[in-house]
Structures are given as structure tokens and as C-alpha cells.
Amino acid sequence: MTILQIRGIVKQFGAFRALDGVDITVERGKVTLIIGPNGSGKTTLVNVITGVYRPEAGKVFYVKKDGKSVDITGWPPHKVFEEGVVRTFQIPQVFQKLTVLENLLAVARGQRGEGVISALLKNWVREEEENAKRAFQILKAVKLADKWDTPAYLLSAGEMKLLELARALMAGADLIILDEPIAGVPIDQAHEVFKIVREINQRGTSFLVIEHRIDIAFRYVDYVYAMASGRVIAQGLPEEVANNPRVKEVYIGG
């Protein structure tokens, strides 16, 4: 089953075509990876999916859990987010001085909306308790439960990425888009980040990942799209894409 269908996306900046007819299908329950050299259009594509840019042509469909397909092309970012398609840095940056737990509760509070005034205090307390319970379950899943009381600025680079992931889960994400989740993360922590992405994926969350460090990422993903100059140049299982002559050419410059 599909969760995201990207069809014929064209995005221009002036006369320059950053995306030139991109077709990508993201399967529900899978981890899909997009690779490509700098300037190939990966970030522009994520910006089109999440509503930052409106494409000149093409469509983006989000397929809900019940199978209903929703045309989200050109939706504003907050609406895409509310639908359950969450890019990690769509959520406001981690609050450095707040603890790990507080960072999660801040996302939950943001979701509650304006109708709270009418809520009775009793309900409010219950909701706070439920949020805290859910936050701890999520922190367990990302292996940050023992750091719940640590201010975010004391976390390692890898733990910071995991906190971002936890916040996306707290926000109720169905599809999480990770833009370079292991950039600047030391190698052992980078493997840990991807292992946890895998574990969370196995519990039902789908992922679309953009990553440069393909040596690490390829071990943890189900399917790969390779982009170059605004187009998809190859797709398949990680080993297929790794051995694709066009991909090798772009990466090794052969």
C-alpha cells in the first residue's frame, strides 16, 4: 500500500528547473531513501511535499490509513503537518533549555488548539497526565527515557536527532520525512539513529529519508530513489541502486 504518491512534479526557480518531472512512490510501512549529489533537487522536493513550494506542474497525493487518497499539492505547510506528514524541522527547533520531556510536552500542547478555555480543569489534568504517559512511551522507543530530565543542550548530536524524531512522533506523524538525519553525527551514533528509525518503522510509522551518507543509510532502508539534475535516475532495492552504472557515474564521477 502506498502512503505518498509524487507524480510529474516540476518546480522552477525563474528559468531554472530544479525538479523536472519527478515520480516517486513511498510505500506505507517502509523506509524509503532519496539520494543524490548536492543540487540534485532533494530539498526542493521535500519543500514541495510539505507545502513550502507550490509546483508548476504535477501532484502530490497522501494516502491515509483508511486508503483514502488526498491531493495535498500546494497545501500550506501547517495543513500538510496536521494531515500527518511531518518533516522533522517542520516542528519548531528543539528548545535548548527545556528538558527532553518538556520538549515533547511542548509539541503536545501545541496540538491541543484554542478550544481549551472551555475544558474543565479536571479534564486538563487528565490530558496532561496522558500526554506525559505518551511522551514516556515515545522516549522509551527512541532510547531517551533515562534522559527525560536532561536539558536538551546537554544531548549529543545523535541524541538531538532522536529528540527531533520523538517530537515528530509526539505530534502524531504517520509519515516522517527526515532531512539528513545523520549529518554531523559520529558514526556509532549514526548507526544507532538508523537502528531506532527501523524499530519505530516496525511499529507502523512510515519514513522518507534524505541522506548523503549512503554507506550507512543503505543498510537500513527498504527502497532507494537516486536523483540527479532534478530527475529520478534510478530506483530499486539498495543493492540494485548501489550497483547502477548511472548512480556510480554521478557519485564517483566515472
Measure Cα distances from 12 to 57, 105, 147, 179 in Å: 10, 39, 44, 21
Binder to ligand ADP among 6, 24, 32, 41 (CB under 6 A)?
Answer: 41
Decide if residue 181 touches ligand ADP (CB under 6 A): no
Segment interacting with ligand ADP (CB under 6 A) among 24-32, 42-50, 62-70, 237-245: 42-50
Decide if residue 38 touches ligand ADP (CB under 6 A): yes
Decide if residue 228 touches ligand ADP (CB under 6 A): no
Segment interacting with ligand ADP (CB under 6 A) among 36-44, 67-75, 103-111, 113-121: 36-44
Decide if residue 18 touches ligand ADP (CB under 6 A): yes
Contacts of 102 (CB under 8 A, 6+ apart): 95
Q: Give 246's Cβ-side CA count (13 Å radius).
A: 13
Decide if residue 43 touches ligand ADP (CB under 6 A): yes
Work out how close the CB of 199 gets to ligand ADP at its nearest, in angstroms, rounded to a whole number.
Answer: 27
User: Looking at residue 7, what DSSP letter applies?
Assistant: E
Measure Cα distances from 141 to 11, 93, 203, 247 in Å: 37, 21, 10, 35
Q: Give 2's Cβ-side CA count (13 Å radius).
A: 14
- Asked if residue 12 lies in contact with residue 201, where contact means CB atoms within 8 angstroms, the answer is no
Decide if residue 42 touches ligand ADP (CB under 6 A): yes
| Residue nearer to ligand ADP on the CB measure, 53 or 192 | 53
| Residue nearer to ligand ADP on the CB measure, 18 or 242 | 18
Binding residues for ligand ADP (CB under 6 A): 13, 18, 36, 38-44
